[in-house]
């Protein structure tokens, strides 16, 4: 997934979570685009799995069995309801103030989640859903700095970038990435990239941070602002 600075105690906790237990690692299946890849399957290995409404369709593709299916089930349809009839469900009214995905995230947090992978959170037919997934994940990371959050479609990944926290994505050299700001950004530094930046100011809406290319050991550091780092993988699609 990603690492923080060498002096950050989160590294030790991350390694412990990966090696000692899977109880605190959750994959939440959302109803966006998904391309199954070997990388994604490795990332999901050992995770507890929750499905939010129509996101259940990805369970079969990825060979996963959710422990709980949450939502109002307005997107699932009869075919999926029959196919996954044995999965335990938790139903909610269709007229509610939060999305099914947010409900699933809150359930994972109540279960002690320390890492959340939002699968199917990017792309798809609803750009508004993808935007709210990005904004919501970033807000969650700010609210809970010790929580590790990643959004993925298999071909794309996004990581919230917290001020003062060095981000080291494990993206291969040559990976295309951008840093779209939800606000103006101050003190943005990008190292080990085709176009490095050193403590720059980035106005809101600027395309300065659009389409960079990772080199080995990519590092991103932000002093102030709200943003994510989002990348696109090519030629990584595995068999469906």
For residue 99, the domain's CATH number is 3.40.50.10240
Tokens of 141: 């990371």
Would you say residue 129 has pLDDT above 50? yes
Using CA atoms, how far apart are residues 52 and 105, in angstroms rounded to an integer? 9
Assign 70 to helix, strand or coil.
strand
Tokens of 113: 């989640």
Let me know if residue 182 belongs to a domain: yes
pLDDT at 163: 96
Computed over every residue of the chain, the mean pLDDT equals 86
For the stretch 75-87, pLDDT in tens is: 766 777 777 778 8
- 68 and 93 housed in the same domain: yes
- 169 and 125 housed in the same domain: no
Would you say residue 209 has pLDDT above 60? yes
Compute the average pLDDT of residues 106-115.
95
Let me know if residue 40 belongs to a domain: yes
- 138 and 208 housed in the same domain: no
Compute the average pLDDT of residues 225-233.
96
Number of domains in the chain: 2
Would you say residue 148 has pLDDT above 60? yes
Let me know if residue 3 belongs to a domain: yes
Count of beta carbons in the 10 Å neighbourhood of residue 85: 8
Domain boundary among 154, 187, 204: 154
User: Of all helices (H) and strands (E), which one includes residue 217?
Assistant: strand 212-221
- 206 and 150 housed in the same domain: no
Residue 234: band (very low, low, confident or very high) from pLDDT cuts 50, 70, 90: confident
Let me know if residue 240 belongs to a domain: no
pLDDT at 86: 81
Domain boundary among 105, 124, 154: 154
pLDDT at 213: 95
Residue 208: band (very low, low, confident or very high) from pLDDT cuts 50, 70, 90: very high
Helix count and strand count (H, E) for the chain: 6, 14
* Phi and psi torsions of 24, nearest 5°: -100, 5
Domain boundary among 97, 126, 154: 154
- 46 and 84 housed in the same domain: yes
- 129 and 186 housed in the same domain: no
Let me know if residue 82 belongs to a domain: yes
Residue-number span of the structural domain to which 180 is assigned:
163-235
Let me know if residue 211 belongs to a domain: yes
pLDDT at 67: 94
- 168 and 218 housed in the same domain: yes
- 148 and 168 housed in the same domain: no
Let me know if residue 86 belongs to a domain: yes
- 50 and 32 housed in the same domain: yes
- 192 and 90 housed in the same domain: no
Count of beta carbons in the 10 Å neighbourhood of residue 93: 6
Let me know if residue 54 belongs to a domain: yes
Residue 140: band (very low, low, confident or very high) from pLDDT cuts 50, 70, 90: very high
- 111 and 225 housed in the same domain: no
For the stretch 154-199, pLDDT in tens is: 999 999 999 999 999 999 999 999 999 999 999 999 999 999 999 9
- 16 and 97 housed in the same domain: yes
pLDDT at 235: 52
Q: How many residues comprise the chain?
A: 240
Would you say residue 99 has pLDDT above 50? yes
């Amino acid at each position: 997934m990603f690492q923080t600075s060498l002096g950050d105690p989160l590294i030790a906790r991350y390694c412990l979570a990966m090696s000692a237990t899977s109880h605190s690692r959750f994959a939440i299946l959302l109803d966006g685009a998904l391309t199954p890849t070997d990388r994604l399957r490795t990332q999901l290995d050992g995770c507890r799995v929750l499905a939010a409404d129509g996101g259940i369709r990805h369970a079969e593709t990825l060979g996963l069995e959710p422990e709980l299916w949450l939502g109002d089930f307005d997107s699932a349809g009869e075919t999926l309801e029959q196919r996954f009839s044995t999965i335990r469900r938790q139903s909610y009214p269709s007229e509610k103030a939060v999305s099914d995905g947010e409900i699933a995230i809150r359930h994972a947090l109540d279960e002690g989640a320390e890492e959340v992978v939002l699968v199917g959170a990017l792309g798809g037919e609803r750009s508004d859903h993808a935007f709210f997934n990005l904004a919501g994940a970033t807000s969650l990371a700010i609210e809970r700095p010790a929580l590790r959050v990643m959004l993925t479609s298999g071909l794309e990944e996004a990581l919230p970038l917290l001020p003062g926290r060095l981000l080291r994505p494990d993206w291969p050299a040559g990976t295309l990435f951008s840093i779209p700001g939800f606000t103006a950004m101050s003190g943005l530094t990008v190292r080990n990239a085709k176009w490095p930046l050193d403590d720059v100011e980035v106005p809101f809406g600027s395309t300065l941070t659009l389409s960079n290319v990772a080199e080995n050991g990519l590092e991103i550091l932000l002093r102030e602002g709200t943003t994510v780092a989002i990348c696109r993988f090519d030629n990584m699609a595995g068999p469906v």
